[in-house]
Amino acid sequence: MRKKKISLTIDGNPITVDEGTTIMEAAEQLGIRVPRLCYHPDLSLMGSCRVCIVEVKGMGYYMASCSVRVWEGMEVETSSPEIRRARRDIVELLLDNHPRDCQTCERDGNCELQNLAYSMGVRKRFFEGRRKRFPIDDSSRSVIRDPEKCILCGRCVRVCAEIQGVHNLSQHGRGFHTVVGPAHMANMDDSVCIQCGQCINVCPTAAFLEKPRTEAVWNALADPKRHVVVQTAPSIRAAIGEGFGLEPGTPATGKMITSLRRLGFDVVFDTDFGADLTIVEEAHEFLTRLREGPLPMITSCSPGWISFMEKFYPELIPHASSCKSPMSMLSTLAKTYYAERKGLDPAQVYMVAVMPCVAKKDEAARPEHKMPGGRPYTDAVLTTRELIWMIKCYGIDFATLADGEFDDPLGVASGAGDIFGTTGGVMEATLRAASELVTGKPADRLDFTEVRAVEGLRETYVAIGEHNIHVGVANGLTNAKSLLDKIVRREEEFHVIEVMACPGGCIGGGGQPYPRPGVKVLDPELLRKRASALYAIDSGKTLRKSYENPAIEELYDTYLGGPGSEKAHELLHTHYAARIPRGIR
Amino acid sequence: MSTSTDNWEQVQAAARESLGDEIAEFIEACRRGPEPESQLIAVLHQVQDRFGHLGGEHLDAVAQLMQVPAAKVAGVASFYHLFRLKPRGRFMINVCLGTACYVNGADRVARKVMDELGITWGETSADGVFTLEASRCLGTCGLAPVVMVDGQIHGNVTPDEVPIILEKYLKKARQESA
C-alpha cells in the first residue's frame, strides 16, 4: 500500500514526504541537518537532549524534531535567531554540568559535545552552577565508566539493550542525581557487562572509555632487555587509516607494519596467522563434531560473545568451539614455538596485541590464558584507537610511510585469515577449509558470499559434498539471541553458527576509530567500506586457504604434530564456565 | 519459560524464598496477563509493603521472576521517591512542611529532630528506631506545626517538646526488643 503524502514547509522550502516522517528526517531531505545529540537512527527515540528543537508555527513551545512526525501544512523554522539562541542555551547548560578538562580529556578532538558546542557558537561559559560529582569506575579490565562526563543522552543504555541485548545499563535516581550504571551501581566487572565496548563507541563524550594499556607498552618498548612482539588483528588494517585522514575502507597493512617498526617493536606478527590456525583446528573439531556431536558448533573468536554466552546462555557452553581465539593462539605460540626457535627465554618476550576490541583486554587476563608461572601469554592489548594515538604521539607521518611486511614465521597468512575481521568471515574461511576436508577434493569455489550477514543475521544451507550444512551467522548480540533461542528450544538443527558480538563484526568493534564528525557511529556504509578493504586484501592474495599456509604446515610438521594433536590441544584450546551474575535474556 | 537460563530452577527457588510465596504468585499472575512488564511498579509496591524497603536482593529476585533486566528494575526503583532502597526505622517521623506548619516554625522543629537523632531527611537513626521524612500538609493545619510519628499526630509541637516525644517512642522500642 502506498503511504499517504504530507506537504509542509521547512525554512520556507516546500516539501512533500511520506506520512510518519519526522521533522528531522524531512529536513535532511532538504539538505538541512538539524543539530542533534541523543538521537541515533539505529536506536529508539529518546528526545532527552532537546538539542534538535525547532519552531513549528502555531505551537507554543519548541518541538524536538527527532521525535515529532510531520503533519499537513506544518510550517517549520529550524534556524531562526530565537531557535539558535535556545539551542545554544541548551548546550551551555549541558556544559555547565560538565568537567572543564577538554585539553586533558581522552576524547579531545573526537568529542561530539565539544564539536556541538563549537558549532552552536558557545564561546563563553555563562552559567556557574553546582556540578554533579561521581567517582570513576575503573574496576573493569576493559571499560572505564566516568559518570561526571555523562550528559544523560542514554545512547549507551539503548545500545546495550537494543543492539546487544545485554541490558546492563540504566539511568538510576532522578533529576540532578541521575547517573547511568549497572543495576545497584555495581562495578562493571561485577555486572552482566560483556565488555564489548559499544557504549564507548556511541558515547558522545568520554563517559565510557577503554582501559588504557599504552603506558605499559611504552615501558616495554623502552626496556632493552625485552623482546617486544606485536600482532595486529585482521580488522585493524581496514580501519587504522581513518585515524590519519585516509578514506574509510583504505587497506593500510603496509603502513601499519612500518609504523609499528618505527615505534620500536622488535617483531611484527599477523593475527591472521592465528586465524588460519584457528580455522585448521576448528575445521578438525567440526569434523569430529559431525561424527560425535554436539552440534551446532559455535565459533569462539569473539570475547564479547564468549562473555555473553557465559552469563546469558551457559547451557550452550558445550557447543562453543574449544579453540582459543586467533589472538590467544598467536600469543601462546610466540612464547613457545617462536621463542624456542629463536632461542629466547619466554619471560623475555613481551606480547602486545592490537585489537579492534575492548573485550580482548578481558580475554587476555583470563586465567586460562596464562603461562605456567602466572604471566599472561598476551601482556597488553591495545585498541585500534590506542595504537593510532601512540603513532601520533611518536610523530610518525603515517600517510607517507612506505609499505612494510610482516615477519616470519607468525606473519604468513592466507586471505581466509584477513576476512576474519568481518561478519561471516570466520564462517567463509571455515567453509573453504571444511569443503576440502569433507570431500577430499579441491574446493570448487572460494567465495561464500551468502554467509556475509551484512544485515546482522543470516541463516542458509551450504552444500559440501553430500552434506547440506545449515549455517547461521549473526553480529550484534540481539541478532544472535534469535539464533541461540532456536538452538536452546531445539526448534532448528544447525551445523555451524558464527557469532560476533559487535555490529558488522570486528570491523565495528568497541575499540575501532571514532568516526569523523558527521558520520554516525555504527554507520552501515562505514562498516561496508571497512569490510570491503578486507575482501580486497583476500581476493588480491594467491594464498587464500588456511590449509595451504606454508607456515602453518611447518608449525604442524616441526612442532605440534598435527591438527587436534595432544600438543595442539594443550596450547591452542581452552574452556569456558558459567558466570555470575546471570543475565536476563 | 524456555528462554530462561539453565539454572532457572535454583534462581526461581532463591527468588521465591527472598520475596515470599505471596509476591511470587502475584508476579506469576502478572506474567500470565498482558504486558507483564507494566506491572513492575505494582510488584515493587507489594515488596515494599512487605519488607519496608526494596533491598538489592529483593530487586534481583523481582528481576528474575519477572524476567525484566535487573538494571531496569533498579532504575525504576531509584527513580520514585516513594520507593525506599534502604531499610526504614521502626517508627516513621513525618514533619509537615506545608505552609501553615512552616510559618509556625516547622523548620525549627525539624532541625531539632535532626540534631537529636543525628540524621537528615530520608535517613534512619543509628539505632534503627527512627526514619525522618518530610510531608506536605497532613490536613490538620489547625494544629500546626504538626509532627506525625508512627501514624500518630502530635500538634502544636515546639522544638523543646521534640526530645519528650522521641523518648516516648524510644521507650516503646526498648519494650518491644526486651
Q: What is the ipTM of this complex?
A: 0.88
Structural domain includes residue A402: yes
Give the C-alpha separation, A32 to A10, whole Å.
9
| Distance in Å, alpha carbon of B8 to nearest chain A alpha carbon | 10
* Local structure of residue A395 (DSSP, 8 states): T
Look at residues A211, A244, A264 and tell me which one is the last residue of a structural domain. A211
Structural domain includes residue A473: yes
* pLDDT value of position B2: 42
My answer on whether A334 and A197 are in the same domain is no
Residue B40 at interface with chain A, using a CB cutoff of 8 Å:
no
Residue A127 — pLDDT band, cuts 50, 70, 90? confident
Residue B71 at interface with chain A, using a CB cutoff of 8 Å:
yes
Closest Cα to residue B55, out of B36, B39, B38, B70? B70
Residue of B nearest to A172 (CA): B75
My answer on whether A204 and A233 are in the same domain is no
My answer on whether A48 and A121 are in the same domain is no
Structural domain includes residue A86: no
Structural domain includes residue A48: yes
Maximum separation of any 2 CA atoms in chain B, in Å: 63
Is residue A143 a contact partner of residue A193, using CB atoms and an 8 Å limit? yes
My answer on whether A172 and A33 are in the same domain is no
Q: Is A67 a catalytic site residue? A: no
Cβ-based burial of A189 (10 A; exposed 0-12, middle 13-18, buried ≥19)? middle
Give the C-alpha separation, A130 to B17, whole Å.
44
Domain of A158?
A: 106-211
Give the C-alpha separation, A313 to A481, whole Å.
9
Q: Where are the alpha helices (DSSP H) in A299-422?
A: 303-312, 326-333, 339-342, 359-365, 384-393, 415-418
CATH number at residue A527: 3.40.50.1780
Q: What pairs with residue A215 in β-bridges?
A: none
- Strands A496-500, A297-298: pairing is parallel
The mean pLDDT of A390-407, rounded to a whole number, is 97
The mean pLDDT of A350-378, rounded to a whole number, is 96
Do A167 and B69 make contact, defined as CB atoms within 8 angstroms?
A: yes
Is residue A385 a contact partner of residue A512, using CB atoms and an 8 Å limit? yes
CATH number at residue A176: 3.30.70.20
Give every CB contact of residue A374 below 8 A, 6+ residues apart in sequence: none
Strand, helix or coil at A483?
helix
Q: Is A360 a catalytic site residue? A: yes
Q: Which amino acid is at A407?
A: D
Q: Is A66 a catalytic site residue? A: no
Q: Is A162 a catalytic site residue? A: no
Give the C-alpha separation, B154 to B172, whole Å.
16
Do B3 and A585 make contact, defined as CB atoms within 8 angstroms?
A: yes
Q: Is A153 a catalytic site residue? A: no
CATH number at residue A59: 3.10.20.740
Q: Is A140 a catalytic site residue? A: no
B40-51 vs B21-32: helix axis angle to the nearest 10? 170
Q: What pairs with residue A181 in β-bridges?
A: A170
Strand, helix or coil at A144?
strand
**Chain B residues within an 8 Å CB radius of A576:** none
What H or E segment, with its residue span, contains residue A404? Answer: none
Residue of A nearest to B1 (CA): A489
Cell numbers representing residue A84 in the block? 539558535
Q: Which of A307, A321, A328, A331 is catalytic?
A: A321
**Cis status of the peptide bond prior to A581, with omega within 30 of 0:** yes
Do B7 and A314 make contact, defined as CB atoms within 8 angstroms?
A: yes
My answer on whether A543 and A480 are in the same domain is yes
Strand, helix or coil at A255?
helix
Q: Which of A282, A428, A436, A498 is catalytic?
A: A282
Of B6, B11, B70, the CB nearest to A183: B70
Look at residues A156, A178, A211 and tell me which one is the last residue of a structural domain. A211
| Distance in Å, alpha carbon of B170 to nearest chain A alpha carbon | 32
Q: What domain count does chain A have?
A: 3
The mean pLDDT of A76-91, rounded to a whole number, is 96
Query: Could you tell me the sign of the dihedral formed by the alpha carbons of A222, A223, A225, A229, in that order?
Result: negative
Structural domain includes residue A270: yes
My answer on whether A139 and A71 are in the same domain is no
Q: Which of A106, A210, A242, A363 is catalytic?
A: A363
Structural domain includes residue A217: no
Q: Which one of B62, B78, B84, B121 makes the best mutation probe of the A interface by having the most chain A beta carbons within 10 Å? A: B78
Give the C-alpha separation, B49 to A393, whole Å.
59
Cell numbers representing residue A167 in the block? 541490558
Structural domain includes residue A340: yes
Residue A1 — pLDDT band, cuts 50, 70, 90? low
Residue B43 at interface with chain A, using a CB cutoff of 8 Å:
no
> What does the H/E/C string look like for A306-321?
HHHHHHHCHHHHHHEC
**Chain B residues within an 8 Å CB radius of A492:** none
Of A172, A184, A315, the CB nearest to B6: A315
Task: Examine the pLDDT at A62 and tell me if it is beyond 90.
Answer: yes
Of B56, B64, B75, the CB nearest to A171: B75
Q: What angle do CA A481, A358, A97 make, to 5 degrees?
A: 100
My answer on whether A34 and A130 are in the same domain is no
Is residue A399 a contact partner of residue A256, using CB atoms and an 8 Å limit? no
Task: Examine the pLDDT at A381 and tell me if it is beyond 60.
Answer: yes
Residue A519 — pLDDT band, cuts 50, 70, 90? confident
Cell numbers representing residue A217 in the block? 607498552
| Distance in Å, alpha carbon of A172 to nearest chain B alpha carbon | 4
Do B68 and A174 make contact, defined as CB atoms within 8 angstroms?
A: no
> What does the H/E/C string look like for chain B?
CCCCCCCHHHHHHHHHHHHCHHHHHHHHHHHHCCCHHHHHHHHHHHHHHHHCCCCHHHHHHHHHHHCCCHHHHHHHHHHCCCCCCCCCCCEEEEEECCHHHHHCCHHHHHHHHHHHHCCCCCCECCCCCEEEEEECCCCCHHHCCCEEECCEEECCCCHHHHHHHHHHHHHHHHHHHC
Do A169 and B71 make contact, defined as CB atoms within 8 angstroms?
A: yes
* pLDDT value of position A581: 83
Structural domain includes residue A84: no
Give the C-alpha separation, B52 to A62, whole Å.
43
Phi, psi of B19 (to 5 degrees): -100, -20
Residue A285 — pLDDT band, cuts 50, 70, 90? very high
My answer on whether A27 and A171 are in the same domain is no
My answer on whether A270 and A147 are in the same domain is no
Task: Report the C-alpha dihedral over residues B74, B75, B79, B83, rounded to 10 degrees.
Answer: -10
My answer on whether A237 and A205 are in the same domain is no
- The model's pLDDT over A170-220, given as tens digits with 9 standing for 90+, comes to 999 999 999 999 999 989 988 999 999 999 999 999 999 999 999 999 999
Cell numbers representing residue A129 in the block? 552552577
The mean pLDDT of A416-442, rounded to a whole number, is 90
Q: Is A156 a catalytic site residue? A: no
Q: Is A301 a catalytic site residue? A: yes
My answer on whether A260 and A297 are in the same domain is yes
Residue B63 at interface with chain A, using a CB cutoff of 8 Å:
yes
My answer on whether A172 and A284 are in the same domain is no
Residue A535 — pLDDT band, cuts 50, 70, 90? very high
Give the C-alpha separation, A581 to A246, whole Å.
42
Residue B1 at interface with chain A, using a CB cutoff of 8 Å:
no
Give the C-alpha separation, A497 to A406, whole Å.
31
Q: Which of A72, A368, A492, A566 is catalytic?
A: A368
Q: What is the per-residue burial (b if ≥16 Cβ within 10 Å, else e) of A446-474?
A: bebebbbbbebbbbeebebeeeebbbbbb
Give the C-alpha separation, A251 to B132, whole Å.
65
| Distance in Å, alpha carbon of B82 to nearest chain A alpha carbon | 12
Give the C-alpha separation, A407 to A103, whole Å.
38
Closest Cα to residue A410, out of A255, A277, A291? A277
The residue to which cell 516546500 is assigned? A14
Mean confidence (pLDDT) of chain A? 94
Count of CB atoms within 10 A of residue B54's CB? 23
Residue B124 at interface with chain A, using a CB cutoff of 8 Å:
no
Closest Cα to residue B74, out of B97, B92, B57, B50? B57
The one-digit pLDDT tens for each residue of chain B (178 residues) are 345 667 778 888 889 999 999 999 999 999 999 999 999 999 999 999 999 899 999 999 999 999 999 999 999 999 998 898 988 899 999 999 999 999 999 999 999 999 999 999 989 999 999 999 998 888 899 999 999 999 899 999 999 999 999 999 999 999 988 8
Chain A residues with CB within 8 Å of chain B CB: 161, 167-174, 182-184, 191-192, 312-315, 485, 488-489, 578, 581-585
Residue of A nearest to B73 (CA): A183
Look at residues A211, A245, A262 and tell me which one is the last residue of a structural domain. A211
* pLDDT value of position A180: 97
> Would you tell me which residues 75-94 of chain B have a C-beta closer than 8 angstroms to some C-beta of chain A?
75, 78-79
* pLDDT value of position B1: 38
